[in-house]
Structure 1
Amino acid sequence: MFTGLVETKGTILEILDTSDGRDFLVTTSWVNSDIKLGDSISVNGCCQTVTEFSDEGSKFRFYSTFKTLELTNFGLLKVGEEVNLERSALPTTRLGGHIVSGHIDGIGKILTLEKREGGSVICYTVSNDSVLSKYIAPRGSITVDGISLTVVDSRAGEFDLVLIPETLKKTNAKFWKPGTILNLEIDLVARYLEQLLKPQQ
């Protein structure tokens, strides 16, 4: 589990294609690194497993299967790009964002952006799959590329976000522009509520 509070950014050093997936090498800088083989790390909001690491965790590899490539923006990532990183939450972690599973529900695309306050605040309109629309509510939570954010407004097939300077500084959101593809995870509570309210067969 994660909180959606991005710890740090990483840079992709290498991408290796395999017969049914992709292997990624990332370099980053952690505060108090404790990376181990098999650890779960949120990469752009997608839970991935550390398969190899070096330099006390400042470099690590993860493998994405063909299904992950289908559901996320990982198939579009290139060497040199920055990704958002968060280690899995500890029982003592402050839950400053919201409960995030790291299981991507779909992708969205930036439709428009508007800079305000001299560019220190940016407003985005994001398209989303119509199946996801019913889970996205104004003032509700959503995870976008691993960032826990609050939905400002929502309409059929799209929703609005406002990102503050701190978020833009600590994440890869400063590189988002119209056409950028983003990983989306809907609020876990909404997903389970729908399941509970389904008529029993």
Structure 2
Amino acid sequence: MFTGIVEVIGTVIEYKQTDNDEGTGGGVSLTIGDSAEILTDVHLGDSISTNGVCLTVTHFDKEKGQFKVGIAPETLRRTNLGDLRTGSKVNLERAVSGETRLGGHIVQGHVDTIATITKKSSDENALNFTFQLRDPKYIHYVVEKGFIAVDGTSLTVTDVDYKTAEFSVMLVSYTQGKVVISQKKEGDTVNIEVDLTGKLIEQQIELVLTSQLENDGPLANFVKKIVDQKLSALGK
């Protein structure tokens, strides 16, 4: 679990295709540098959010400020990590501890889809971004003034267009220097994780409604009554 508050911007040192025997199932091995700040208490097997994706540390070198992770094929399909190359910058955040302040929101590090930057503009010292989701179905979990994780950064949604599957956010001056999003341009992609709360509410409602309809509960009886009234009005 993460908070969406980026701790440091790392640099990809090596991006290498791997074989099945390297533990990534034919995926990718990624070595990231400029990371000394988050390696002070690192252990093998720890989780580090890399551009919003929860990845497991398989090797680290505190003196060099580097660590290594493996990326499985499913992760490459779901995220834009396959676009990383040597020299790419990435947002990094360690998993929360018992003493971590929840400055952003609860982020799992399980990316739902990617989005393309369709508009980038300045508003005095702030930056406005508009994104379009690759998978439109996730726009239903995005609400104005709600939380969303963009490349692992907890941001507040400023506008939503459900017809075009687009939403907007604003980056204040301070945040711009702490995350990689500000360096991106129109046409670039980002990893998106929608707020978990919406998914949980949807699942609970679906389960309750399904149970009511399958077990002749009050809802099923109400629906039947409405249908009978409509049919009666039609003379059937």
Q: Please confirm whether the aligned pair reaches a TM-score higher than 0.5, indicating the same fold.
A: yes
For the Cα contact (< 8 Å) 1:12–1:83, is it kept in 2?
yes
Name the CA distance, whole Å, in 1 between partners of 2:54 and 2:27: 15
Larger radius of gyration: 2
Name the CA distance, whole Å, in 1 between partners of 2:54 and 2:67: 14
Shift in alpha-carbon separation, 1:86–1:124, aligned structure 2, 3 A: same
Q: CA deviation at 1:31?
A: 5.6
Aligned pair partner of 1:68 in 75, 80, 85: 75
Shift in alpha-carbon separation, 1:172–1:195, aligned structure 2, 3 A: same
User: Alignment RMSD, CA only?
Assistant: 1.3
Name the CA distance, whole Å, in 2 between partners of 1:33 and 1:110: 34
- Name segments (4+ residues, structure 1) moved above 6 Å: none
For the Cα contact (< 8 Å) 2:39–2:65, is it kept in 1?
no
What are structure 1's unaligned runs of at least 5 residues?
Answer: none
What are structure 2's unaligned runs of at least 5 residues?
Answer: 20-25, 212-236
For the Cα contact (< 8 Å) 2:150–2:190, is it kept in 1?
yes
User: Which residue identity is paired with 2:59?
Assistant: E
Q: CA deviation at 1:48?
A: 0.2
* Residue 225 of structure 2 is aligned to residue 179 of structure 1: no
* Residue 106 of structure 2 is aligned to residue 99 of structure 1: yes
* Residue 195 of structure 2 is aligned to residue 190 of structure 1: no
User: Which residue identity is paired with 1:168?
Assistant: Q
Q: CA deviation at 1:57?
A: 7.3
Report the counterpart of residue 2 of structure 1 in structure 2: 2
Q: How far does the alpha carbon of each residue in 1:31-73 deviate from its partner, in whole angstroms, 9 at most, with x for none? A: 6711110000000010000000012572000000000000001
Name the CA distance, whole Å, in 2 between partners of 1:6 and 1:45: 9
For the Cα contact (< 8 Å) 2:61–2:67, is it kept in 1?
yes
For the Cα contact (< 8 Å) 1:9–1:170, is it kept in 2?
yes
Q: CA deviation at 1:11?
A: 0.0
Report the counterpart of residue 32 of structure 2 in structure 1: 26
Identity of aligned residues (%): 40
Q: Looking at secondary structure, tell me which structure has more helix per residue.
A: 2
Name the CA distance, whole Å, in 2 between partners of 1:37 and 1:185: 25
* Residue 205 of structure 2 is aligned to residue 200 of structure 1: no
Name the CA distance, whole Å, in 2 between partners of 1:15 and 1:111: 27
Select the structure with the greater relative contact order (CA < 8 A; seq sep ≥ 6): 1
For the Cα contact (< 8 Å) 1:152–1:159, is it kept in 2?
yes
For the Cα contact (< 8 Å) 1:33–1:57, is it kept in 2?
no
**How many residue pairs align between the two structures?**
199
Q: Looking at secondary structure, tell me which structure has more strand per residue.
A: 1
Name the CA distance, whole Å, in 2 between partners of 1:137 and 1:127: 14
* Residue 143 of structure 2 is aligned to residue 164 of structure 1: no
User: Which residue identity is paired with 2:175?
Assistant: T
